[in-house]
Amino acid sequence: MLDSVLGFYSLFAFLIKRSKNRLFLKGFLFIVATIFLIGNIAHVNAFFPSIEFTTKCNGKTYYVTWMHPFGDYQWIFNNVTIWKRVKYESFFFGYSSSSYEIVCDENNKEANIINISYDVLAYTDGGNSRIYDEYEGVILGTHQYFLSRECNDWVPSTCESLTYTLYECNLSYKSCDPLPIQYTQHDTRNFLHLVSDEATNEVNLYEENFETDDEVLIFTYGEHPQCYVKGCEILEQK
């Protein structure tokens, strides 16, 4: 689309030059060329990345940006760029209209990207970088709980299975540590739900079937962790 706009502008600019002394035609072409020029500037501006959040943490500079895919206004996607001195890495962060902030955890040497639209942890950058289920998070007492997600056996455009690990953070999205319980999901179409139970002081994980909406209890984590289905594993404490 940008090529077309630039092409029309170049064409009319050429015609203006060729019109010489024909003032009426030259004026008309100038007006049309100006309209295409303004349209071109507006088009580029619409797709230029906008910085949503930036911060410095543990010797790195982080940028969360959002933009439209070039030529398609209906979608918005987020991107994360991390600079360390003269080196950087940049990666796609998903199609979403959510807003993000970054919490610096100096003690754990990590930066935690928070999806503030859902009040959940989305990504952790550090020695053990990890992505989380961006829709699931619960509070129990003085802690928050999230599910990190790891792809197993990647095939074109999908994962054969996903392994989820329960993480515990404080209420400031810091001090995030893994808990010794995991679940490997083989039907990745299904939805997972974390539920806190204040009466028993436990966190429960449920899986909702994609086709039937039926829910199955996967595990309970508390003083006495317990698995209920195949694929759930209680790990040895280190």
Domain boundaries, the chain: 2-46, 49-234
Using one digit for the tens of pLDDT, what is the confidence trace for 100-159? 999 999 999 999 999 998 999 999 999 999 999 988 999 999 999 999 999 998 877 788
**pTM exceeds 0.85 for this model:** no
- Nearest of 100, 103, 94, 130 to residue 118 by alpha carbon: 100
Query: Regarding beta strands 110-115 and 130-140, do their DSSP bridges make them parallel or antiparallel, or are they unpaired?
Result: unpaired
E strands within the chain? 50-57, 60-67, 77-84, 87-95, 100-105, 110-115, 120-125, 130-140, 143-155, 158-170, 177-185, 191-197, 202-208, 215-221, 226-227, 232-234
Whole-angstrom distance, CA of residue 155 vs CA of residue 28: 56
CB under 8 A, 24+ apart: contacts of 163-169? 164/133, 164/192, 164/205, 166/203, 166/205, 166/221, 167/121, 167/132, 168/143, 168/144, 169/112, 169/121, 169/143, 169/144, 169/145
Q: Which residue has the higher pLDDT, 14 or 167?
A: 167
Measured over the CA atoms of residue 126, residue 132, residue 135 and residue 140, the dihedral's sign is negative
For residue 4, the model assigns a pLDDT of 47
For residue 83, the model assigns a pLDDT of 94
Using one digit for the tens of pLDDT, what is the confidence trace for 38-81? 655 555 555 556 788 899 999 999 999 887 665 556 667 788 99
